[in-house]
Amino acid sequence: MKKATALKLPALLIAAVIIALSFAGCKNEPEDPHDQIIYYNIDNEPITLDPQIANDAGARLVILNIFEGLTRIDKDNNTVPGAAQSWDISTDRMMYTFDLRKDIRWNDNTPVTAQDFVFGIKRALAPETMSPTASSLFSIKNAEKYHSGAAEEDSLGIFALADDKLIIQLEYPDPTFLSVLSTPPAMPCSKSFFENTAGQYGRLDDKILSNGAFYVRENGWAHDEYICIRRNEYYKGENEVIPAGVNISIGKHYDNICSAIDTGETDCGSISSSEIEKAKASGLLLTSFGDTVWGITFNTQNEYLKNTALRRSLLSSLDRYKLNSFIPSGCSETTHIIPDSAQAEGKKYRAAAGDISFTPYPRPKQLLQEALKELGAASAPTITILCPDDEYSGKMANHMIECWNELTNGYFNKEPVSLSVLKDRVSEGSFEAVIVPLTIQGETPLSTLEMFESSSEFNPSALMDENYDSLIQNVRKNPATGTIDASRTAEQYLCDNAVFYPVFTENRFYASAGNVQNIIFHPYGAEADFIITKKISE
């Protein structure tokens, strides 16, 4: 008789199967919130989970949950203590002294120290790191000079006084500095752990050390499929970590997000404006933020479109009333580059700054002739309008072509592409005119204005203007009482020079199951915090 043999699967395969099955979702959730798993989906695979380098939406969401800065943002969008239990600010607001929580630890049970924060911030600012988010830390003393290679690391205004105390000196008062310390580039990094990863830090589940509410479980990152994070038992903070973990699927496209939430495939997710009524009818909870401004801009490095008069004449020829008729449902008209939700000096920026918008020239054909004379050109150039391949953008581009053909007696055309391709093309400067979204990453006017800075990674107009860069420096370096005036001047400069022509504000919508409570959606950056999330019995 042949003896039966046991089938031995490799441990990694068994782990992968168990994790994959856990993504099936289940309506019979454990009653104890501490035993519950939350289900979520991100659109794209994070390039890395290295906080000092990552800048895509999916990575930011995961990093927000597995790391914690000196501060964190609570459910009311207030800056509250994070890894630091308290801080003191000097009377001139140029020096911050932070005291860390007692006995805080990484998820491997080793101590988190002040030096870990010093190393993390210095690494974000180091020229060789090439961090796309380093500029958010430029208010630190000598940070911008160090980042550009004009100062030594030792000159930076950050140092540890003890394992549980550090000091940060500023170059100029920054009213947003405490909230900046809750963002990825300011997260701690263990120098010894980092050096032992041999260049793979943040790229694999076993190359990540977390001090946040969750950590990436062993074999919990299957690239392009899922990331499983679990409660960090060593975490100490203002809040108790409630759920056992979060299963984050990657790139899962639901035909009907409302049905996916109802069946338990996911607990929440972003929805389009066309799905709002369906979500309401299904009893889903809705959260929305107006953090994206769509508009028309030009490649200011183009040999013709670098001319301000040409850009002004093109924009002045548009029929604003007609453009507004192409705005998608769920979106709202705007003439402002900086979103109306922006805050400065503790108040609504727009209410304080007033109406700052592009003023059309009454005789665009005359202005066109002046532009051609300045350029030494006999006729207007042929321009291709890059636009998203959706119905509304297509109609908007057609109107632009109609107006510009009539203005110039020339020939214009459009090139519809997917939104991801459009963003890549804009980043590369491979366009002439474009209908493009500006997704804002923060609540201050600077979050919008710095996109047009010469050093910006995503500069929608390819603007390289020393005068404008100087205005941005004024916004950064103005004390709290001068931020609105400096921002107003920079915004007016963009309008007067026909750099960006706003058309509408797009709202970002999230839907979650009616029994899911306390997902903290942040208004900027497409981030969700699950630290106190729970499901209640229906």
pLDDT digits (tens, 9 = 90+) for 124-179: 999 999 998 898 899 999 999 999 999 999 999 999 999 999 999 999 888 889 99
Smallest CA-to-CA distance from 375 within 311, 280, 281 is with 311
Q: Quote the CA–CA distance of 73 and 64 in Å, as a whole number.
A: 10
- For the chain, state the CA radius of gyration: 25
Q: Are residues 478 and 336 in the same domain?
A: yes
Q: Quote the CA–CA distance of 432 and 426 in Å, as a whole number.
A: 9
DSSP annotation of 140: B
Minimum mean pLDDT range among 273-282, 305-314, 387-396, 447-456: 273-282
pLDDT band at 3 (very low <50, low <70, confident <90, very high): very low
- Tokens representing 228 are 């499983």
The number of beta carbons lying within 10 Å of the beta carbon of residue 470 is: 10
Smallest CA-to-CA distance from 524 within 359, 342, 369, 332 is with 342
pLDDT digits (tens, 9 = 90+) for 97-130: 999 999 999 999 999 999 999 999 999 999 999 9
Q: Are residues 444 and 525 in the same domain?
A: no
Is the separation of the CB atoms in 437 and 292 below 8 Å?
yes
pTM of the model: 0.78
489 has pLDDT over 90: yes
Q: Are residues 481 and 530 in the same domain?
A: no
479 has pLDDT over 90: no
**What is residue 168's three-state secondary structure?**
strand
pLDDT digits (tens, 9 = 90+) for 435-460: 999 988 778 898 899 999 998 878 99
- Which residues sit opposite 297 in a β-bridge? 434, 500
Residue 172 lies in a domain: yes
Q: Which residue has the higher pLDDT, 537 or 279?
A: 279
Residue 276 lies in a domain: no
Q: Quote the CA–CA distance of 11 and 219 in Å, as a whole number.
A: 10
Residue 454 lies in a domain: yes
Is the separation of the CB atoms in 449 and 338 below 8 Å?
yes
Q: Are residues 250 and 380 in the same domain?
A: no
Distance set, CA 159 to CA 96, 103, 113, 171 (Å): 11, 20, 12, 15
Q: Are residues 306 and 242 in the same domain?
A: no
Structure confidence at residue 288 (pLDDT): 82
> Burial level of 16, CB count in 10 A (0-12/13-18/19+)?
middle
Residue 284 lies in a domain: no
pLDDT band at 420 (very low <50, low <70, confident <90, very high): confident
CATH code for the domain of 75: 3.40.190.10
Q: Are residues 163 and 59 in the same domain?
A: yes
CATH code for the domain of 312: 3.10.105.10
pLDDT digits (tens, 9 = 90+) for 52-75: 999 888 899 999 999 999 999 998
17 has pLDDT over 60: no
Minimum mean pLDDT range among 35-49, 219-233, 402-416, 477-491: 477-491
Residue 269 lies in a domain: no
Residue 173, domain extent: 12-260+513-535
Q: Are residues 375 and 472 in the same domain?
A: yes
Residue 237 lies in a domain: yes
Is the separation of the CB atoms in 106 and 117 below 8 Å?
no
Q: Quote the CA–CA distance of 238 and 182 in Å, as a whole number.
A: 14
Q: Are residues 484 and 518 in the same domain?
A: no
Q: Are residues 245 and 382 in the same domain?
A: no
Q: What is the dihedral of CA 220, 226, 231, 232, to 10 degrees?
A: 50
Q: How far is CA 160 from its chain centroid?
A: 29
Minimum mean pLDDT range among 86-95, 393-402, 404-413, 472-481: 472-481
Residue 392 lies in a domain: yes
Report angle CA 313, 357, 416 to the nearest 5 degrees: 60
Q: Are residues 502 and 524 in the same domain?
A: no
Give the mean pLDDT of the chain: 90
**What is residue 191's three-state secondary structure?**
helix
365 has pLDDT over 70: yes
Residue 347 lies in a domain: yes
Q: Quote the CA–CA distance of 407 and 399 in Å, as a whole number.
A: 12
Q: Are residues 497 and 517 in the same domain?
A: no
Amino acid at 403: C
Q: Are residues 231 and 298 in the same domain?
A: no
Show Cβ contacts of residue 382 under 8 Å, excluding neighbours closer than 6 positions.
410, 411, 412, 413
Strand duo 214-222 + 226-231: pairing: antiparallel
Structure confidence at residue 2 (pLDDT): 38
Q: How many domains does the chain have?
A: 2
